[in-house]
Structure 1
Amino acid sequence: MDTTLLTMLAVLTSAVVLVLGGVITHLAYRAARRNGSPVMRRFAAGFGLVTLGLLLGGGVHQLLGWSFLGGVLLQRSVTALGFGLLVYSLYGHADTETARA
């Protein structure tokens, strides 16, 4: 495949992931505010970090001139933190409302 086409597809798929990740983060945040659940707050923050990882990885490479691998390392580090927070929100210390269910 042509490099230009691959670059366009990479940018397009990244944009779709950013939009969908942003929507999921927003919906989880609204749910957390609605019911006051600490678990949902952590879940929203985890999805926010996963989405932010993608934005930061590409951003530092394109805008700040970091190397491609430096951007990938930043992206994967922030994404790993986000997934860790997601796991913690699902299996960590449950609030009393969730513990009773």
Structure 2
Amino acid sequence: MTHPFIIVGLKTATLFLGGMITFYAFRAYKRTHSPALRALTIGFGAITVGSLLAGAMDQVVGLNRQLALIVESGLTAIGFGVILYSLYAE
């Protein structure tokens, strides 16, 4: 079984780094008003929120880990889809 401190540490790092990427993408969007950068912000935000929700569901609320993994994977897939869209947006 995985040690809970490792999971919390990695989720914290993911939340911090994802938050920073989302923040800088948002700043770039505010500066340029580019729809592509807006989509990039939303994509990275979805991935970061997915990680946060999964960690909270698992560690704080104590819900089933499989459900937490489904939520995280779903938001990650949505986030990557939006990021892919941002690469093609004008």
- Structure-2-length-normalised TM-score: 0.91
Aligned-pair Cα RMSD in Å:
1.4
Q: Of residues 18, 43, 46 in structure 2, which corresponds to 1:21?
A: 18
Match of 2:62, SS state, is: coil
Partner of 1:62: 59
**TM value normalised by structure 1:** 0.82
1:76 maps to amino acid: S
**Aligned-pair identity (%):** 39
Task: Give how far 1:25 is off.
Answer: 0.1
Structure 1 residue 73 and structure 2 residue 70: aligned? Answer: yes
Instruction: Tell me, in whole angstroms, the C-alpha distance in 2 between the residues paired with 1:50 and 1:84.
Output: 10
Q: How many residues align?
A: 90
Report the equivalent of 1:33.
30
Report the structure number with the largest CA radius of gyration. 1
For structure 1, the residue ranges without an aligned partner over 5 or more in a row are 96-101
